[in-house]
Amino acid sequence: MQVTTDANAPWLIVGLGNPGPEYAGNRHNVGFMVADLLAERVGGRFKRAGKAQAQVVEGRIGPPGPANRRVILAKPMSFMNLSGGPVNALREFFKVPLAHVVAVHDELDIDFGALRLKLGGGDNGHNGLKSMTKAMGAEYHRVRFGIGRPPGRMQVADFVLKDFSSAERKELDYFVDRAADAVECLVIEGLERAQGTYNS
């Protein structure tokens, strides 16, 4: 489904996660990890955004010229299940069309490290997406970062709030880097090109 918007409108790229050092390495925080890397790439540091319950970095990605895009990188500082309020406040403040919002989040139904990009759809039980959709509708982009299913009888809530395993951590930087590349491709070249290159 193609949504037409002003090509010059800014993009809001939201890494989903939970605030606080105790959550930093959790599977549920992979969205924050990707947002941190993108902030490094644009040469910015996250700062509290006015009254919004979020940290943001403003910058530009893409080559000079028409493909250059203004982006606002954001990490909601509410907990995951309350992400929608801060994200929608930022969207309204920066005048970002819904189709220029990108949520980067962990995805249980995809193998560790694999990516899927899409526009719209359900939340698949993900509380961050559920909150965003409730606040502003579902027609935003998602970059879904696979974390796989919990082993044995481990509860999903316990699994997502655990750190990546030592074996996963050996590859994590590579996969986070690839997810950041996918976000940049989506914003600069569009969903179809990004899906063709990064969906795995």
Residues labelled as active-site residues: 28
- Cα-based distances in Å from 122 to 3, 75, 178: 17, 21, 24
Task: Give every CB contact of residue 80 below 8 A, 6+ residues apart in sequence.
Answer: 16, 17, 18, 28, 127, 128, 131
Contacts 24+ apart (CB under 8 A), 149-158: 149/108, 149/109, 150/108, 156/108, 156/125
